[in-house]
Amino acid sequence: LLQQLDIPVWKWDEISMDFVTGLPRTPRRHDAIWVVVDRLTKSAYFLPIRKDYSTDGQSERTIQTLEDMLRSCALEWTGNWDDYICLIEFAYNNSWHASIKCAPFEMIYGRKCCAPICWDQVGERVIEGPEMIEVTNAKVAVAKEKLKEARTRQKSYVDKHRRSLEFQPGDHVFLKVSHARGVRRF
C-alpha cells in the first residue's frame, strides 16, 4: 500500500529536486535544468546548469509542467532557453496548484504576486508587520490541510489497485531484475 510522506512543518523545510537533462546546449553551454520544489508550498526554482545528474523521481510532475512550458515557447526561444527560464519560473510559481488551492508565490509570501502588468490595479492592499506574519501562518495552515486532503485522496486511489503482501520465512517469491530499474517484486 502507499507509504505517505510526512507533511512538512514549514516552507522550505523539505524539498524535492530533480534534473531535466538532454536539452540542446545553449551559447552559455547549459544543457540541463535543476528543478527544486518546496514540498509544502509547491514553489519551484528552475536553474540552468551545465552537467547531467541522476534523478530521484520526486519532481516528475513539476518537470512535466516545465517541459510543457518550454515546448510551448520553443519556436521563439530557439537555442536560448536559459535566457528565459526565469520567466517560466515566474509563470509556474504564479499559477494555481490544485493541491494547495493557490499559487506557490502566494503560499510563500502570504499575498498574490504583483507582476508589472497589475501594479496599477486600484484597491490593492498592502500587508505589513504582524498582520503579514498572521496571514502567512494562516496560509501555511491551509496548505497543510489541503495537502492532507490531497494525500488522503491520492492514497485511496492508489490503494484500490494494490494489495498488502506479507511473506513468512521460507516462502518462495519471484523477482523481476532489470538493469534500468533494479530488483522488483511482482
Q: Where are the domains of the chain?
A: 15-116+125-159
**3-class state of residue 102 by DSSP:** strand
Residues forming beta bridges with residue 46, ordered by sequence position: 35
Residue 115 CB: number of other CB atoms within 10 A? 11
Predicted local confidence at residue 153, as pLDDT: 81
Amino acid at the residue 37:
V
User: Do residues 31 and 63 lie in contact, with contact meaning Cβ atoms separated by under 8 Å?
Assistant: no
Amino acid at the residue 65:
T
What is the topology classification, in CATH, of domain 15-116+125-159?
A: Nucleotidyltransferase; domain 5 (3.30.420)
**3-class state of residue 46 by DSSP:** strand
Amino acid at the residue 158:
V
Which DSSP letter does residue 27 get?
Answer: T
Predicted local confidence at residue 118, as pLDDT: 45
Which DSSP letter does residue 10 get?
Answer: S
User: Do residues 103 and 97 lie in contact, with contact meaning Cβ atoms separated by under 8 Å?
Assistant: yes
Instruction: List, in sequence order, every beta strand (DSSP E) within the chain.
Output: 15-20, 32-38, 44-49, 175-178, 182-185
Predicted local confidence at residue 121, as pLDDT: 46
The model's pTM is 0.46
| End-to-end Cα distance, the chain | 14
Below-50 pLDDT ranges, the chain? 52, 58, 117-123, 127, 186
Predicted local confidence at residue 48, as pLDDT: 92
